[in-house]
Homo-oligomer: A and B are copies of this chain.
């Protein structure tokens, strides 16, 4: 297994990202091809007592696509970026998967331009695994690849989500819910009304609407679908809510001796909470529906999150989930759309 890691586009330095790649390579026995600034990559390899070779190799790229660049223009204009060169290397089968913590829009646009879509999939979608209190993940898509969706797109998201939940997450019979503002049928906006009808009459195990405040505690379904705008708002708000509580608590704990002592005693509790609810342990969201294994890591990914994203990518490759999705499209929909 050989995975390309784009080390240029994240919020953190290439160094942090290369470290994550080295960790994953060592622990999981995966070959890593680092795409980016050769000197920076080489320096980090040396620092961690590694050298270039089969396990860790370098794909030099001189350009960086920044977080805020308009995606399509960036992908078209920056041919020597780590993102574009990395995707080309995946297309040429020089690697089995591509992992990037960079500009999400650019990864999506680049993947569609360079790799193409899986036949029959109208819109690729980003599938994010959200940690829940139970310790089991819940898969949500789309997390931001498609900001304006037609109802039928949500049906394809459900199909891809079910395939991924079964083949990669190992859930035998994944159920599907529609993210909505109430659980009863008839709740929500026009898109949701129409998507509900399609899902209800479709071939997947659809259980109805689910609401944002129950997902983490009750985990009512395995796969949740929504349009990418709503999905992205959901993910960021959830992160914001969680980090606001933990941040506020940290601040307050620093303010008195009594609280400091309490904080010390509760350290194991805090680390369990962090472990259960932090995105660092999940790290990567696959872009499903493109012809290749592409994993988008969080922009603020540290070494640990990058290593998790590489694990996600290697599982997606091993499970051959893309083949399932392709078969699903030709098999589950009678007209083979």
A residues engaging B (CB < 8 A)?
A: 68, 70, 133, 144, 147-148, 179, 181-182, 184, 186, 188-190, 192, 211-217, 227, 229-230, 232-234, 236-249, 252-253, 256, 258-259, 261-266, 268-269, 272-273, 276-277
Contact = CB atoms under 8 A, between A and B. Distances in A.
| Residue among A211, A233, A234, A259 with most chain B CB within 10 A | A233
A157 to B, nearest CB: 16
A237 to B, nearest CB: 4
A261 B265 contact: yes
B269 A68 contact: no
Contact of A229 (B230, B238, B243, B252): B230
Contact of A262 (B189, B213, B241, B269): B269
A241 B237 contact: yes
A258 to B, nearest CB: 5
Contact of A245 (B189, B212, B242, B263): B242
Contacts of A189: 147-148, 227, 229
A70 B186 contact: yes
10 contacts: A212-B237, A233-B237, A241-B242, A241-B245, A245-B245, A248-B277, A252-B272, A258-B265, A262-B265, A265-B265
Contacts of A268: 256, 258-259
A181 B258 contact: no
B237 A213 contact: yes
A240 B238 contact: yes
A217 B237 contact: no
Interface centre among A144, A216, A229, A230 (most CB of B within 10 A): A229
Nearest to A238: B241
A158 to B, nearest CB: 18
A213 B243 contact: yes
Given A239-B241, A241-B242, 9 more contacts: A147-B190, A148-B190, A181-B232, A181-B233, A230-B233, A240-B241, A248-B276, A258-B268, A259-B268
A230 to B, nearest CB: 6
A258 B70 CA distance: 52
A119 to B, nearest CB: 27
Contacts of A70: 186
Nearest to A230: B233
